Amino acid sequence: MEKIGFIGIGIMGAPMAGHLLDAGYEVFTAVNRTPPSNELTSKGILVLDSRKAVAEAADIIITIVPDTPQVDEVLFGEGGVAEGLSAGKLVIDMSSISPIETKVFADKIKALGCGYLDAPVSGGEVGAKAASLTIMVGGSDEDFARATPVFEKMGQNVTLVGGTGVGQTTKVANQIIVALTIEAIGEAMVFATKAGADPEKVRAALMGGLASSKILEVHGERMYKRTFDPGFRIELHQKDLNLALQGAKSLGVSLPNTATTQELFNVCVANGGAAWDHSAIVRALEIMSNHEVA
């Protein structure tokens, strides 16, 4: 069984690493601002003094950190993963970052004789805890086959969607759909409750029809229960929509509703909501309508 390095044990990474430990993998992480939880410690995660040391000890190194600059630092900064790599190892980045920069990172890792996969995930904290994540993978068939047993311990829908960077492109598309769907649910909830309807009953009725979705199930409930602790922070979803809008500009395509949704996230941030769950986009709509869903 291959040894796993896991860098990024936050809201998403901690349960993902926990599933690997439960499956019998030896898992290493590095000293960081987020120390391992008591649960991970009790499961036997091993904490080393640097990312370089993690790469030296592991056969497969997984990273899941907030944004492109953090991936760059983890991989190529002083004492980073690249310094500890030797030929034949596999690096898997499960962060959601720039598809363009992903290709640059992959080329650098491959030049060291190692494999590289971009494998961002969807499903949020709930999916991470349930090991039901969707994993969108870019890279070679060979590297994907090697990583599949590891992916299957963390997710249920694992797909090789194309070459290097295509996993990240797919994740950006996913984030467009998620953001616009949450925004649509927010509009529906504001409309229905302003008209006097009970939001819990509205959601229950809609869950039985064509409007039904996992997003309505989870985030519709968050909106009327006012449970806006993340989940997935607005500032991170803003980062993903920035990638979408930058990509659209370079491709010469228009994403008008993505741009509008980003502006609504900006309203939330302007009101202190950068760290709110992304379902709190409803609060921007509430401010504009002078009406609170409850």
Rounded to whole angstroms, how far apart are CA atoms 80 and 74?
5
Q: Check: CB of residue 185 under 8 Å from CB of residue 216.
A: yes
Of 246, 288, 291, whose CA–CA distance to 266 is shortest?
A: 288
Of 112, 115, 125, 77, whose CA–CA distance to 93 is shortest?
A: 115
In the residue annotation, 153 being an active-site residue is answered as no
Cβ count within 10 A of residue 80? 20
**Choosing from 153, 171, 194, 201, which is the catalytic residue?**
171
Cβ count within 10 A of residue 24? 8
Q: Which residues of 169-190 are buried (b: 16+ CB within 10 A; e: fewer)?
A: bbbbebbbebbbbbbbbbebbb
Catalytic residue numbers?
171
